[in-house]
Amino acid sequence: MEGVAGRPVRAVIDAGWLTLRLFTPDDIPWVYEVSCDPVVRHFVGVPSPYLPEHAAFFVETLAIGGWRDGRRLEFLAADAGTGERLGRVGLGLREDGTAEIGYWVDPRARGREVATQAVVAACRWAFAARPLELIEWRAEVGNTASRRVAEKAGFTIEGTLRSRLVHRGVRVNAWVGSLLRDEVGAPASGGQG
């Protein structure tokens, strides 16, 4: 796969027991399955009903295409030993030297610190590889699992933004936090903590 200005994209991040790798078309069925999970559907702005073509669009256009045009940096988090797909972390790049992070985890992998380890590794890599000054996190108020991940990964929760997100056509309040270049957390642990 080629990135911006025709440079090949070969980003793989070693995060201890996790590996963050680029998406491939083979990941489409897994994205479809996870995106049909009730928790993901409740808090992530996925189409409803969620169809296989939505998963194909996410993988081919957003995840793979985002690397090509420099808009998004999407990673699939996999078990380093087995290759099992566990979750996803992505950064939407902005022209002002900032990015917004998003993540979700396969329901079968919840409670294993997948999201926290993936977020720390992706942020550390992004600050080293890109001229970013700040990474922002936003989540619908009430998404306490996402907030816990952001806090554990070192994000400072800055407040609540009123009616800032649109979820299924309805404006909802959002928590917002940020992580600065010099605040990136400690290296990912070697265990499944």
Question: What percentage of the chain exceeds 70 in pLDDT?
Answer: 90
Q: What is the pLDDT of residue 188?
A: 39
pLDDT at 97: 94
Q: With CA atoms as reference, report the closest residue to 177 among 145, 134, 142.
A: 134
Residue range 121-129: mean pLDDT, rounded: 96
Given a cut of 60, whether residue 1 has pLDDT beyond it is no
- Give me the chain's average pLDDT, please: 90
* pLDDT, tens digit, 9 for 90 and up, residues 36-62: 999 998 888 888 899 999 999 999 999
- Domains of the chain plus CATH, in order, are 4-133 (3.40.630.30)
Q: Is the pLDDT of residue 192 over 50?
A: no
Alpha helices in 22-179 (DSSP H): 28-35, 38-43, 52-57, 65-69, 114-129, 144-152
